[in-house]
Every structure is written in C-alpha cells, then in structure tokens.
Amino acid sequence: MALALALRRPCVVINADSAQVYRDLKVLSARPTEADMRGVEHRLFGEWDGAEPCSAADWAARAKREIEDAQLAGVLPILVGGTGLYIRTLLDGIAPVPAIDADVRQTVRSLPVAAAYTALRAEDPERAAALNEGDTTRIARALEVVRSTGKPLRHWQAQHIGGIGDAVDLHPLVLLPPRAALYARCDARFARMLDSGAVEEVEALLARDLSPSLPVLRAIGVPEVAGYLLGKWSRDEALALGQQATRNYAKRQYTWFRRQSPPEWPRCESDDCDINVYFERLFAI
C-alpha cells in the first residue's frame, strides 16, 4: 500500500509489530530490508535495544508522536503490524494504573507462581479465574496492582486515557489470508531465517547475558534457536519447533483480529487483495 501510494502522495510506514521494534531481531522478526522499503520512509523498526522492554504503552506513545509529526508534515502515516494490543492501546488508550510501589513489586515478583496465584485468588478472585495458573507475568501484574492500589486490575481497565481513535480518520483493513497457505508461508519463512542469519542473531543475543524474562528473548524463534545453540536439540528439531511456534502464533493472531477488531473494519480473506478497492478514498485524494 505504501509503495502504491508513494506514487501519488508522501507517506510513511509505522511499525506495529512487537518483535520488529527490537534492533536485535532483524532476521527473526522479518524486519523490512532497504530493498523492501524501496525509498519509502519506515519508522519504529529496530528502535529499541533488546535490554529495554517495549510495552504497549511505550510503543503507543512513540507511535502517537510519529503520527503527529507525519500529519504536521502533510505525510500519510500507515500503521503495519499484527500486534493487536499495540494497536488497541494506541486507538483506545491505556488504563490509568498508578505507579506500583517498588517494595510491593519486589515482593510479588519474588513469589513462586503457585503462591502468587493462590494469593491472587484471595485478593482478586475474578482476575484469578480468568488466568491460567502458570501465567507468571499476568498473575504477578494483577497481584501487584491490587496490593499497591487497593483496587483490582479490572477497576483500572474500565477506564482508558490517551487513545487517538476518535481524533483521526481511520482507513483500516484486516488481512486474513487462507490459513493453509498462511501456515505454509510460515514454515518456509522460518526455514529461510535459519539459513539467513537467525542462528548468528540468537548467538549474539545469548552472548549479552540478558535477563531471560525480557521480551526479546521470548520472541518467536529465539528460544527454539537458543535450544539448538545450547545443545538441547538438533538443528532440524529447532526448525520444527520454530515452525510450530510461528504457526501457533499466526493462528492466535488470526483469531484475535477476526474476533477482537471492530466489526465495521473491512476484512480481506484472499491472497489477492486489491487495495484500490479498500482504500479508494485515499487513492482519490
């Protein structure tokens, strides 16, 4: 779309993918190359160091500034990516959860997940019932919120501030290609990644001795390749595991965008998507 529009009006592509924000994951996130960009400006690709986690709120704040800068310059911003939480945070805003007390956070994060879940069932049973007992991150987050603020996470999530959805003219399109073809492309892409620098990329990440809790080390492909480098399984097994993880994530994305994106957003369920039909107004301007 950006390449097609660039012939008619200035535009900029803004990344909305939670893996492509990390400069450490050029290969495993399939970040666009200079050849892919073809002279069209791209923003928020590889902007975060892997040692610095990028939350949905962090990304939304940066994306908002990029959109504002583009609009002031008379440039059309095009958001591209499949991280639904990022997009929802940008459009709908974020829950105004107060800063968590440092002592509370340290205490909660030091608890074994089983103990944290038991405590959450007592202090915020509604949230506990909605979570898997092994979901370490979400359990800890819910528990630290209720302990630090005195109110459950749902109380804060019912309020949203900072969203831009009502202030911009949106032209959304959800791409839902045929699943069989999508999964085959996932498999082929991961195989290409292993042959094109993914192993060296993960090797460099492991050499940094970063905290295993960081998102960059939990990105799809990183644990699978790391296991190969650490001798836990063979290269062929790493390939199979990475392909499976990619397909699983693609399935979750597919389901999320089909069910969670607003029903009025158009959906294209074909591999052959005529953007002129979906974006007639933009091309006409």
Answer yes or no: do 197 and 280 share one domain.
yes
Q: Pick from 137, 159, 181: which residue ends a domain?
A: 159
> What pLDDT tens digit does each residue of the chain (285 aa) get?
888 888 788 999 999 999 999 999 999 999 999 999 999 999 999 999 999 999 999 999 999 999 999 999 999 999 999 999 999 999 999 888 888 999 999 999 999 999 999 999 999 999 999 999 988 889 999 999 999 999 999 998 888 888 999 999 999 999 999 999 999 999 999 999 999 999 999 999 999 999 988 999 999 999 999 999 999 999 999 999 999 999 999 999 999 998 889 999 999 998 888 888 888 888 876
Answer yes or no: do 90 and 229 share one domain.
yes
Q: Are 144 and 110 in contact (CB under 8 A)?
A: no
Answer yes or no: do 144 and 185 share one domain.
no
- Residue-wise pLDDT tens digits, 54-97: 999 999 999 999 999 999 999 999 999 999 999 999 999 988 88
Answer yes or no: do 155 and 168 share one domain.
no
Quote the distance between the C-alpha of residue 94 and its chain's center.
Answer: 15
Answer yes or no: do 277 and 172 share one domain.
yes
Distance in angstroms (rounded) separating the CA atoms of residues 229 and 231: 5
Phi, psi of 94 (to 5 degrees): -120, 155
Q: Which residues contact 5 (CB under 8 A, 6 or more apart)?
A: 11, 76, 78, 279, 282, 283
Q: What is the pTM of this model?
A: 0.83
Answer yes or no: do 53 and 129 share one domain.
no
- CATH code of 86's domain: 3.40.50.300
Answer yes or no: do 80 and 173 share one domain.
yes
Region of 221 please: left (phi>0), alpha (psi -120 to 50) or beta.
left
End-to-end CA, the chain: 14
Count the domains in the chain: 2
Q: Pick from 129, 159, 189: which residue ends a domain?
A: 159
Answer yes or no: do 225 and 275 share one domain.
yes
- CATH code of 106's domain: 1.10.20.140
Answer yes or no: do 119 and 77 share one domain.
no
Q: Residue 263 sits in which domain range?
A: 2-94+163-284
Answer yes or no: do 173 and 250 share one domain.
yes
